Structure formats: C-alpha cells, structure tokens
Amino acid sequence: MPGTPAPLVALFDLDGTITRHNTLAPFALGLLLRHPARMLRLPRVLPALARFALGRCDHGELKSAFLQETFGGLQRSAVDAWTARFVPRLLEKGLFNDARAAIARHRAHGDTLALLSASTDLYVPAIGKALGFDDVQCTGVAWDGASLLGTLTTPNRRGAEKVRCLQALRARYPDFALVAYGNAASDLPHLRLAERGVLVNGSRSARREAAHTPVACVTWR
C-alpha cells in the first residue's frame, strides 16, 4: 500500500551499546575465578599481546590466543555453568536503561531485532535469547567435542566484518529498512550503510568522525 512504511530490522551492537562495559573481560575473569589454576596460564598470552601492541596481530588473533592459552581444554559443562550465572547478572545490572527502552520500543513496533557483536558465542547467544533478539551474530569459538579449543570459527565480528554481516543481513531481509546502533569508531562503517545509523555514547573522536556523516549521536544512560 502507498505510504506504508517498510518493515524494519533494528541491529544492535552489544559491548558499550547495550551493555555499560565490555563483556568478554568480566566473563573471562569470572571463569578464571571458578577455575583458579588456569590463572597460571595467563603468561602464555604475553607473546600474542606483544605482537598486538606492535601491530603484528589483530583483535581476532589476540582473542583466539587468549582463549586457547587460558581456557583450552575446559569442558563445555563448565563454560555453560558459568554462562548460566553470568548472563542474568549482566542483565540485572550491566545494561543501559536507554538500551532496554530502545529494544522494547522496537519490539513493540514489531521490528526484527538483530544482535551483532565481536564478543564470542560462549555467551552472546544466551544474552540475545534473554533479550528477545530474533537474529544473533557473534564471533564463533571452536570446540573438540565437549572440550574447548579456543580457535575462532568465524572472522572476528569487528570493523569491516560488521559491514559484511550487515550486508548479509540485508540480503536475508531484502524488503526491510535497517536502523543500526553502535558505540565505537570501528562501528561507523556499518552504521553509515544503514538507513539510520546511531552512535551511542561515542568517544570524542568517534563523534567528530560521525559529524561528517548522516550517523546520529546519542547519549544512553
């Protein structure tokens, strides 16, 4: 019908957009506290950290090295047990109230809710399910049966990879308009491709960069 608005996909980043802080660090810390002997493995990550500092490896390689060296061999039951405790705690205190309101508003309008995060599928799908998301894309982590390997099964869902994921999402929902929410300068490339891009609590430099684009800047609390 003429004048009928296009159906909408609302695409949300997770860390710093929905949640007040990064989620991988507290997830990993909590898992370490439950398995303290694995803290002795942390020095094994230092070579990858040094390569990252020198620009010789990227965020995905560092993430994979950390997971392999620190949690490699951990059983799925142990990871799932911590995820089952971590996610409710995060949802109780770790979300921006304005993010909750935006998600609820889109749900009330009948929009399709999509979550796109560089954080891992050790816990992001559980967050997406708890918040009622219809589509969840995040960085995949490999298992050997019930034993965690820690290598990545997908590209790290960051920067240019988020652009690819947005394009794939658009292909799955070809008749839908897209509104995308992110918080970092690295999110700007895919925010610009949405019909409406929203930078949430961006840094000064990210807001300055967004000022030259149609991306809106908002503050969520």
103 touches 132 (CB < 8 A): yes
Q: Amino acid identity of 199?
A: L
Average pLDDT score over residue span 69-94: 98
pLDDT digits (tens, 9 = 90+) for 156-171: 999 999 999 999 999 9
Q: What angle do CA 73, 78, 80 make, to 5 degrees?
A: 115
pTM of the model: 0.95
Query: Domains in the chain, please, with CATH?
Result: 8-218 (3.40.50.1000)
Average pLDDT score over residue span 76-93: 98
99 touches 220 (CB < 8 A): yes
pLDDT digits (tens, 9 = 90+) for 171-199: 999 999 999 999 999 999 999 999 999 99
pLDDT digits (tens, 9 = 90+) for 6-15: 799 999 999 9
Candidates 79, 54, 49; CA nearest to 64 is: 49
pLDDT above 90 as % of the chain: 97
Burial of 53 (0-12, 13-18, 19+ CB in 10 A): exposed
Rg (CA), the chain: 18
Q: What is the pLDDT of residue 6?
A: 77
**69 Rama class: left (phi>0) / alpha (psi -120 to 50) / beta:** alpha
- Whether 4 shows a pLDDT value over 70: the answer reads no
pLDDT digits (tens, 9 = 90+) for 34-66: 999 999 999 999 999 999 999 999 999 999 999
- Structure-block tokens of residue 149: 């390997």
